[in-house]
Structure 1
Amino acid sequence: MVTVKTLKPYYIKAEKDVVRVILAYQYFSVLIHKQVYQFIPVEAKEIRLSRKTRKVVNTADRFAFQHGKDVVYMTLAELISLPDFQMQLNTIVEPYYRNEQTASKKEKKDDTSLIIQELERQNIMRMIDKALDEYDEEAFNDLVKQL
């Protein structure tokens, strides 16, 4: 039976499309048949998650774990199948997804605000045209001030 004992990132790098969780020696260990195996960065040393889909991208990467002279290799797909691994990983990267969602909502709000401003400007321009057609100098002057 395999369980995750410790999963702490050495550091996390949030890029535009992926969140990279970089692992180091003392920060990641698993229990295999009641023996603690420490992560060693022999092959893979990072977990990449898509910010869009929230799924692990590099599932084929192999991670090495050592207990004394015994070294065990596990693919990231095998690790993902462990419920405690998935839970701890989600806890680690959740703030980076929230930041992405918050930024996305803010951009949408900014875009909406720009669209509304442009529509208001176009409406004022139409009202200016109408004031010119009707020879309404007072309305024309008021509308020009609003631009």
Structure 2
Amino acid sequence: MLTIKMMKPFYTLQEGNDLKLVFAYQYFSVIKGKEVYQFIPVEANEIRIDLKTKQIENLTDIFVFQRGTRIFRIPLFQLLQISDLVDHLKSIVSFYVQQVKSEEEEEAVCEEILLLEKQNLHRLIDKALLKGNREQFMELTDLLKLEEAAH
């Protein structure tokens, strides 16, 4: 069983719904047995996460750890299975996941407001028709055309 001793991304990069956690020397270490192994960026040096699905995208990448002259290589999917890496990732990624959720909620609210505005415009057009107010009807239908063209 491996235990994560320390895991701090050297830097994080968010591009849309994708998050890259990039690691460097001295920022990632594990305990194997009773010995501490330091991460060395010989092969893979990042973990890529889709923030919408919360899935890790580079599970087959190989991470390398070293203690003195001893080195061990381990694929990311295996590191996830035999260590507490998931817990550490959750604490790092939670802010970014919440940020994506907030953006999605804001988009949903904006869409709902636009739908309500359009429904209100249709009601006003119906009201103008019932009253026989041609001028108001023309203004509202022009406004509806402009709104539909914008979206």
Fold match by TM threshold 0.5: yes
Aligned equivalent of 1:32: 32
Q: What value does the CA root-mean-square deviation take over the aligned residues?
A: 2.2
Aligned equivalent of 2:55: 55
Normalised by the size of structure 2, how large is the TM-score?
0.85
Q: Do 2:17 and 2:100's aligned partners in 1 also have CA atoms closer than 8 Å?
A: no
Deviation by residue 1:48-107 (Cα, 9 ceiling, x = unmatched): 111221111111000111111111101101111135211011110011100000100000
User: Structure 2 regions of 5+ residues with no counterpart?
Assistant: 144-151
* Structure 2 counterpart SS, 1:4: strand
* Structure 2 counterpart SS, 1:26: coil
Aligned equivalent of 1:89: 89
Aligned equivalent of 1:17: 17
Aligned residues: 140
Normalised by the size of structure 1, how large is the TM-score?
0.87
| Matched letter for residue 82 of structure 1 | I
Larger deviation: 14-23 or 28-37? 14-23
Distance 2:108 2:4 in 1: 39
Distance 1:103 1:119 in 2: 24
User: Structure 1 regions of 5+ residues with no counterpart?
Assistant: none
Distance 1:131 1:102 in 2: 43
| Matched letter for residue 42 of structure 1 | V
